[in-house]
Amino acid sequence: MTIMLTERPSYKALQAHYQQIQQRHLRDIFEKDPARGERMNAEAAGLYLDYSKNRITEETLRLLSTLAEDCGLRERIDAMFRGDKINLTEKRSVLHTALRAPRGQSLAAAAVPDAGEPVHQVLDHMAEFATRLRAGEWWGHTGKPIRNIVNIGIGGSDLGPVMAYEALRHYSDRKLTFRFVSNVDGTDFTEATLDLAAEETLFIVASKTFTTLETLANAESARQWTLAALGDPAAVARHFVAVSTAAEEVAAFGIDTANMFGFWDWVGGRYSMDSAIGLSTMIAIGPDRFGEMLAGFHAMDEHFRTAPFERNLPVLMGLLTVWYNNFFGAQTVAVLPYDQYLKRFPAYLQQLTMESTGKSVTLDGEPITSYQTGPIFWGEPGTNGQHSFYQLLHQGTKLVPCDFIGFRHSLNPLGRHHDMLMANVFAQSKALAFGQAAPAGEPYRNFEGNRPSNTILAERLTPAILGALVALYEHSVFTQGVVWNINPFDQYGVQLGKVLAQEILPSLARNAPVPADDSSTVALLRRYRGLSA
Ligand code: F6P
């Protein structure tokens, strides 16, 4: 049995250290250590991380690093890359890193043969398909080239594709139209297809399991929509492709498995945007740029695997999250990208982080009662957020550590807009850290400061930088999971609601009996059905 986190001497040392440091203000910390801004930074895979505006000293970093060593982070990193079955509850390897390893260089290929050459065979298949489609050489049933691509998926089969599409839109083929349908709310499908011609539309049904109800319902509506316009059931073969690990289910749905792009059970849904789940991304930006994105992921993977903890970006960010979550009692982390193209990045991160670290049982099956696990991730692009929730960041009673993300160059230079944008990044992190005293008699103008942040800078938002950024957060989450001794790769917490929805669904039908249930559920069902009490 692994020792409980809070019993570890290295954790207790951090508790003692926290008592000493908690009252120290960043103003004072910077005054005593004026060069920390030049020192407390690290760089990898094109990302520069300034972590100097955190409520830490060199001693904090040393103690956090010791905690990570103590928790076996080094061994766990090696185990993941090697293909050990570290997803204990599902008895699976965790090998999203193999999806972006260059041909012939997968560290796991010996243990998990699928993680080697088959990865590249699927990439080749995707590239061949994407190239044909982008060249106008994938024709619909009536002979017209496909111009509209609709990705149907949810969770990891939606959030990665839609985030990457938005993030890399600058590089996308503007002759093609992309839509993303996830919600079982019929509005999503209806609005996404309202202005599309079926004869020019291709549906990518993306589902790891191919059993997800929302996705199957939307795929079925897509099939009906296609058939209503094109008549012939043979049209399905030209207008539907699937991305899945489940060939049988794909065939049962009626999609030709020659038009299926596979992946493997060792790719978690929220870690799958660089697998075949990224097919829409590849169609949008082309195989070469998709390859650049994979190279960016891989560069960060190699950094995470090999760099010493004190210079390791994901380790530093993961440990800082632990520091605020477990010692300062921070409940959330705000992710604030100063780039409009990253508008879906916080939503993407919500699944990556919270489906991974929202756990309350250790890897040994022990309930976690003495410490907190995953914080709530949230955010919006700057500068929009500044005119909305930043009030609370600056003057609220809650401590919210922030990650600012910005770029040296805009992809759309427009007058002085970019300098104005970036001036706000630097101003916000400065105001949060150092604050400003209120004029006498006006306490509501007080900026107490001492609010920590990281700033991540890169040259410009390229496919490679996006890959590096996503991998940075993936491995930061991994680091957190190791310290909290949880399994960040399962998601049993989503099951109960799914099962109950299946149980409730029949009783929503006209004339079905209202089941005996708790009084709240019965009252809600009656009201929904329009029945009297
Ligand atoms: O319900 C949660 C979940 O299992 C996610 O983990 C996953 O990304 C999503 O559903 C979609 O699953 P699938 O790709 O199998 O349709």
Cα of 211 to ligand 1 centre, how many Å?
Answer: 9
How far apart are the CA of 197 and the centre of ligand 1, in A? 29
pLDDT at position 397 is 98
CA distance 262 to 274: 12
Q: What is the predicted pLDDT for the residue at 533?
A: 62
Q: Which of 208, 218, 477 to mutate to test the pocket of ligand 1 (most atoms within 8 A of CB)?
A: 208
Query: Model confidence over 237-279: pLDDT tens digits?
Result: 999 999 999 999 999 988 989 999 999 999 999 999 999 999 9
Ligand 1: which residue has its CA nearest to atom 6?
A: 269
Query: What pTM was computed for the model?
Result: 0.97
Strand 148-152 with 177-181, pairing: parallel
Contact 333, 341 (CB under 8 A): no
Q: Which of 199, 355, 380, 474 is catalytic?
A: 355
pLDDT at 2: 86
The ligand 1 site (C-beta within 6 Å) comprises 154-157, 207-209, 212, 215, 269-270, 355, 491, 494
Q: How far is CA 121 from the centre of its chain?
A: 25
pLDDT digits (tens, 9 = 90+) for 146-169: 999 999 999 999 999 999 999 999
Q: What share of the chain is helix, strand, coil (3-state, %, to 5)?
A: 55, 10, 35
**One-letter identity of residue 379:** G
Residue 450: pLDDT band (50, 70, 90) is very high
Of 344, 324, 343, give the one whose Cα is nearest residue 333.
324
Read off the pLDDT of residues 502-514 as tens digits, 9 standing for 90 and up: 999 999 998 898 8
Query: Quick one: average pLDDT of 182-190?
Result: 98
What sign has the CA pseudo-torsion 80, 84, 85, 88? negative
Q: pLDDT of 405-426, one tens digit each?
A: 999 999 999 999 999 999 999 9
Residues present in the chain in total: 533
Q: Where are the alpha helices (DSSP H) in 342-451?
A: 345-350, 356-357, 390-395, 417-434
239 is catalytic: no
Residue 19 CB coordination number (10 Å): 10
Q: What is the pLDDT confidence band of residue 531, given thresholds at 50, 70 and 90? A: confident
Side chain identity at residue 303, one-letter code: H
Whole-angstrom Cα distance, residue 98 to residue 122? 13
Integer Cα distance of 66 and 319 in angstroms: 11
Ordered alpha helix ranges (H), 210-350: 213-230, 236-239, 247-253, 279-285, 287-306, 313-322, 345-350
* Pocket perturbation via mutation, ligand 1, pick of 89, 94, 96, 157 by most ligand atoms within 8 A of CB: 157
Residue 14: partners with Cβ closer than 8 Å, 6 or more residues away: 60, 63, 64, 67, 323, 327
Cα gap 287→266, rounded to integer Å: 23
pLDDT in tens, 371-386: 999 999 999 999 999 9
Active-site residue, 220 included: no
CA distance 50 to 53: 8
Cα dihedral 506, 512, 517, 521 sign: positive
Active site annotation includes 498: yes
Q: How open is the CA angle 20-453-59, to the nearest 5 degrees?
A: 35
302's tokens: 């190699």
Segment 484-527, tens digit of pLDDT: 999 999 999 999 999 999 999 999 998 898 888 999 999 999 99
